[in-house]
Amino acid sequence: MYDAEDKADESPQDRQAQQRKWLKNLAQAERYFKMWFERGDKIIKLYRKQGATDGDGSSIASKRAFAMLWANTEVMKPVVYAQTPEPAIARRFKDKDPAGKTASEILERACTYQFDQYDLDGTIKAARDDMLLPGRGVVWLRFVSDGELACDYIHWRDFLHQPARRWSQINWVAKRSWFAKDELKKRFNVAGDKLSKMSPDSIPKSSTMTEDERRALEGKYAIWEIWDKVSQKVYFITPSSDEPLEVSEPFLQLTGFWPCPQPIYATMTTDSMIPVPDYKYYQDQAEEIDDLTRRISSLTDSLKVVGFYPRGAEDSAAIESALAPGTENKMIGVESWAAFAEKGGGKAIIFLPIDMVVSVIQACVELRQQLIQDVYQITGISDIMRGASDPNETLGAQELKAQTGSVRVRNRQQDIQRFARDITRIACEIMADKFSPGVLMEMTNQNTQENQTPEKIAELEQAFQLLKNDQLRSFRVDIETDSTIQPDEQADKEARVEFVTAMGGFIQQAAPVAQAMPQLLPLMGETLRFMTRGFKAGAPMEDVIDKTVDDMQAQAQQAAQQPPPPDPAQQAQQMEQAKVQTQLQGKAQIDAADAKARDAKAAQELQHNQAKHEQELALAAQTHQQALRERRNESILSLKSKVNGTGGQLPPEIPDDPMATLPDPVGEISQAFQAAMQQIAQIMAQNSQQVVQMLTENNRQLAQLITAPKSITTPDGRTYTAQPQVMPPQAAAPMAAPQMPPQAPPQMVQ
């Protein structure tokens, strides 16, 4: 509708001029497609077997015909489109882009939901049927509300565009919708005098519409919705009004401007946008097949028994009864049997020959079969597509037929897949621009607990910013669909087996290298990604492989931050060296303990001998002292007797106790013995120190022998030269000289 500002800017004359302009453009487009419309109507009626006419205009509805058009169309339907397209939306460059990945996931889930809601499969099938019959299929997308859009099928007669040679040269497109009066009043707010001046579009009787279609559209208003790329306006025009019902800005901001993808066409040339239906190319053969079918039908009616017999005979009534139509399995009585038999019975009847009729029918059937084969050659429908096969043919011949047939229809399959992809892209643009983030979050199940972390919330915010930016969205998000044709199960299995085999071989070869050289994990991960992208069967596993590669790289980074693990050969050598070192240390400790035990035993024996010798010395000293005392006493007594005999006195240097002035020979001997024992102890200490030094030198030489550079060969054939580092064995502590306990001097025995 016009806004107040629009009405103030444009005068009624301007609005009427716009109405006349667009009615003129629509009329010009209808004249441009007029012959195609008429041809399409005839093809549709022939397909439906309603009111078809032959070349001279006479009706053939009641005549027999071979349903070649219907048969070929039904064969081609599942060949060119067999399953609902599934959106395949992903990052364009497959790099690490969390926001792009989240945006792709949101769009893919939203598209899947919307396609299920408005029956995209039925819409594409209707467009496919129009492509196979009249030659053009069209759909139109529209925004309904926040969270809802629609994809409408447009009848092939309700779509017009500017006459041009190529789709890229078109400046306006228009679709016709049929509104009841209440719908018209509600949609365009039309009432009062303006509504009374408008009248429903009358459909002339000369139109090629069927009676059912005419009754369905009776009493409705035809509204043309025109999208003009030049003025960037949308016009709503009805022929029964004197001005446009509405002029507005495009309410969908789309990259290609049109709310409809490029239609799917039958045969096209570069000089016209008028398609050529497939039936046009084998119409002559189909009409000949119909003629032969009708001729065969007429000849079949001639295959009847006609006989001649003499009229007026008495048995004529019986003969006429036998030859009457419907007389089968019936016994007829003859009254004048004698006369009938006399005239020869059955020989009296001469039958009309039918051998020539049978020969003609056989020739017609063979000719029709050849024409059918010609049609199959023209259309490219191979025997395999039709489900027919010669049991005498080899497998190679059958595969060749299937491949040849698939090549002939491959362009059609790719065109419908392009058609489904364009629908998906337009739907994604509408949802990204018109749907609120909250609705998209609910629709795609993004309000989960795992998405409530700060990192995931920030990632979702970046994803929605990306969706709202048309340029960035096209840069980073690639929108495609999977195949729309029926997959070959055997080929699909072979592709999957090939992918699994290639991946298994790569992993088997890469695993040992990754263990030996973890720094190559990033290279192996990228190689695995590269290999996966080359297999179409690996597309569903791409996300899982990306996650696995990311985990591998994270583990490699963690491993790089850790100290490198010891080389197995070097670790084994160190263990061997530690074992030898332990043995050396144990041997040194054992030798030291043995030496200490020997020293202790020697000291004990020395102490025992010392005590024994001291006792012997003490006993000898005591015996000697006793002998000296006795001899001294004898000497003193003898001297005293001599002195007393003379009456003199003893000299003062002679004590009363002769033993008091005697020297202490035991003390001197004890001191000499102690000095001797100290010398013996020092000699033993020196000997023990020499033993320890000798053991230490032996251990050092053995350690040098063990730690000499050695060549080590690993099981995989690599050779290393190792320089072992071994801690020198702990030297045995020098043994202290045995300390002899102090010996008390021997006591003189009184």
More confident residue, 737 or 701: 701
pLDDT tens, position by position, 464-501: 898 888 888 888 888 888 765 555 556 667 778 887 88
Give which of 373, 382, 374 is closest to 408, Cα–Cα: 382
pLDDT tens, position by position, 656-696: 555 555 455 555 555 665 666 676 667 666 666 666 677 67
pLDDT tens, position by position, 412-469: 888 999 999 999 999 999 999 999 999 999 998 888 888 888 888 888 888 889 888 8
Q: Band of the pLDDT at 169, cuts 50, 70, 90? A: very high
First vs last C-alpha separation in the chain: 154
In sequence order, what are the beta bridge partners of 477?
91
CA-to-CA dists, residue 311 to 308, 338, 340, 735, angstroms: 9, 18, 13, 162
The dihedrals phi and psi of 228, each to the nearest 5 degrees, come to: -105, 115
Indicate if the pLDDT at residue 363 is higher than 50. Answer: yes
Q: How far apart are CA 87 and CA 424, in angstroms?
A: 7
Average of per-residue pLDDT across 503-531: 79
CA 83-86-89 angle, to 5 degrees, is: 155
pLDDT tens, position by position, 325-349: 655 555 555 556 566 566 555 555 6
Name the CA dihedral angle for 653, 656, 657, 663, rounded to a multiple of 10 degrees.
0
Give which of 250, 229, 267, 243 is closest to 193, Cα–Cα: 243
In sequence order, what are the beta bridge partners of 679?
none
Q: Kindly state the percentage of the chain with pLDDT values over 90.
A: 25
**Tokens standing for 75?**
């064969």
Give which of 631, 626, 609, 632 is closest to 666, Cα–Cα: 626
Give which of 233, 230, 217, 194 is closest to 3, Cα–Cα: 233
Q: Which of 280-284, 447-451, 557-561, 568-572 has the lowest mean pLDDT?
A: 557-561
Average of per-residue pLDDT across 626-643: 72
CA-to-CA dists, residue 355 to 295, 361, 443, 652, angstroms: 17, 10, 75, 197
Indicate if the pLDDT at residue 230 is higher than 70. Answer: yes
**Tokens standing for 66?**
């071979």
In the prediction, which pLDDT does 337 show? 55
Indicate if the pLDDT at residue 553 is higher than 60. Answer: yes
Q: Which of 141-145, 179-183, 211-215, 235-239 has the lowest mean pLDDT?
A: 211-215
In the prediction, which pLDDT does 52 show? 46
Indicate if the pLDDT at residue 608 is higher than 50. Answer: yes
In the prediction, which pLDDT does 402 show? 59
Average of per-residue pLDDT across 711-734: 54
579-608 per-residue burial string, b: 16 or more CB within 10 A, e: under 16 = ebbeebeeebeebbeebbeebeebbeebee
Question: Which range has highest mean pLDDT (297-306, 338-347, 503-512, 616-625)?
Answer: 503-512
In the prediction, which pLDDT does 55 show? 45
More confident residue, 237 or 196: 237
DSSP letters for 123-179: HHHHHHHHHHTTSEEEEEEEEEETTEEEEEEE-TTSEEE---SSGGG--EEEEEEEE
In sequence order, what are the beta bridge partners of 235?
226, 247
Indicate if the pLDDT at residue 263 is higher than 80. Answer: yes
In the prediction, which pLDDT does 490 show? 63
In the prediction, which pLDDT does 137 show? 96
Q: How far apart are CA 675 and CA 667, in angstroms?
A: 12
Q: Which of 152-156, 162-166, 392-396 has the lowest mean pLDDT?
A: 392-396
Q: Could you identify the residue written with the tokens 């005590």?
A: 611
More confident residue, 97 or 382: 97
Q: Band of the pLDDT at 206, cuts 50, 70, 90? A: very low
Is residue 695 within 8 Å of residue 732, measured between CB atoms? Answer: yes
**Tokens standing for 152?**
């409408």
**What are the percentages of helix, strand and coil residues in the chain, rounded to 5?**
60, 10, 30
Averaged pLDDT score across all residues of the chain? 77
Q: Which of 159-173, 304-318, 343-357, 535-549 has the lowest mean pLDDT?
A: 304-318
In sequence order, what are the beta bridge partners of 178?
222
Is residue 507 within 8 Å of residue 482, measured between CB atoms? Answer: no
30: helix, strand or coil: helix
Q: Could you identify the residue written with the tokens 């023209």?
A: 378
In the prediction, which pLDDT does 321 show? 63
In the prediction, which pLDDT does 726 show? 47
**Tokens standing for 200?**
């429903």
In the prediction, which pLDDT does 745 show? 46
In sequence order, what are the beta bridge partners of 59?
53
Q: How far apart are CA 597 and CA 607, in angstroms?
A: 15
In the prediction, which pLDDT does 189 show? 84
Q: How far apart are CA 38 and CA 355, in angstroms?
A: 45
In the prediction, which pLDDT does 654 show? 53
Average of per-residue pLDDT across 104-113: 90
The H or E element that residue 417 is part of is: helix 395-434
In the prediction, which pLDDT does 79 show? 86
Is residue 225 within 8 Å of residue 392, measured between CB atoms? Answer: no
pTM above 0.95, yes or no: no
For 387, residues 6+ apart whose C-beta sits below 8 A from its C-beta are none
Give which of 142, 119, 139, 118 is closest to 127, Cα–Cα: 139
**Tokens standing for 27?**
């009329």
Question: In which region does residue 119 sit, left (phi positive, over 0), alpha (psi from -120 to 50) or beta (all else)?
Answer: left
The alpha carbon of residue 667 and the mean position of all alpha carbons in its chain are separated, in whole angstroms, by: 109
Q: How far apart are CA 327 and CA 321, in angstroms?
A: 8
548: helix, strand or coil: helix
Q: Which of 48-62, 274-288, 471-485 has the lowest mean pLDDT?
A: 48-62
Is residue 470 within 8 Å of residue 430, measured between CB atoms? Answer: no
